[in-house]
Amino acid sequence: MENPETEERYEQFVRLFTRCEPSLRAFVRSLLFSWDDVDEVMQNTGLVLWRKFSDFDPDTDFMKWACVVARFEVLAWRRDKARDRHVFDEDVINLLAEEAAVNLDRFSNQRHALEKCLKKLPDNLRKIVLAAYEPGVKLNEVAEELGKSATAFYKMLNRTRAKLQECIHVETAADRGGAG
């Protein structure tokens, strides 16, 4: 980067974009059929966000701004692919985008609650749960590594999932200001 101000602005953008990228990707995924299409739209969205970052008001919500940009990128992508029968109509994309935007905060709260709840688990259970959700993992192989039968492992994993689900329910209820 040429000057410190540009470098600082770039670092600010990278921090904000990196923090919201998983949720933004989920938002875009809710509007498109394939992961390849999501990757293409996310790449374009990232470029547009960077180009327009000087227009971003730091006192506003970066995620909401990024979702607006992503929505327009999905619509632009849709126009480019309009002849493909696997592309949603613009009205459907707008409806899905509105629904996804409403759910963003809820999903974010649930993800944060899951992180808190995972930290509350004993180390051995936390490692097992995280290992079970590694991409490409086969649960029977994890069970074998632990010296457990597949049935015993599944029962333990399901009990732990139930504990996590209850913990997430309690955490999100507390965030909403009540039980429920």
The pLDDT of residue 2 is: 66
Domains of the chain (ranges, CATH numbers): 1-108 (1.10.1740), 121-180 (1.10.10)
Query: Do 105 and 71 form a contact (C-beta atoms < 8 A)?
Result: no
Is the pTM higher than 0.85? The answer reads: no
* DSSP states along 79-130: HHTTT-TTS--HHHHHHHHHHHHHHHHHHHHHHHHHHHHHHHS-HHHHHHHH
pLDDT per residue rounded down to tens, the chain (180 residues): 567 888 888 899 999 999 999 889 988 988 887 888 999 999 999 999 999 999 999 899 999 999 999 999 998 888 877 665 555 666 777 777 777 776 777 777 888 888 899 899 998 888 888 888 777 778 888 888 888 888 888 898 889 989 988 998 898 887 666 544
Query: What is the residue type of 105?
Result: D
How high is the pLDDT of residue 89?
64
CA of 125: how far to CAs of 28, 133, 148, 167, in Å?
Answer: 33, 13, 14, 14
Q: If you count DSSP H runs as helices and E runs as strands, how many of each does the chain have, helices first? A: 7, 0
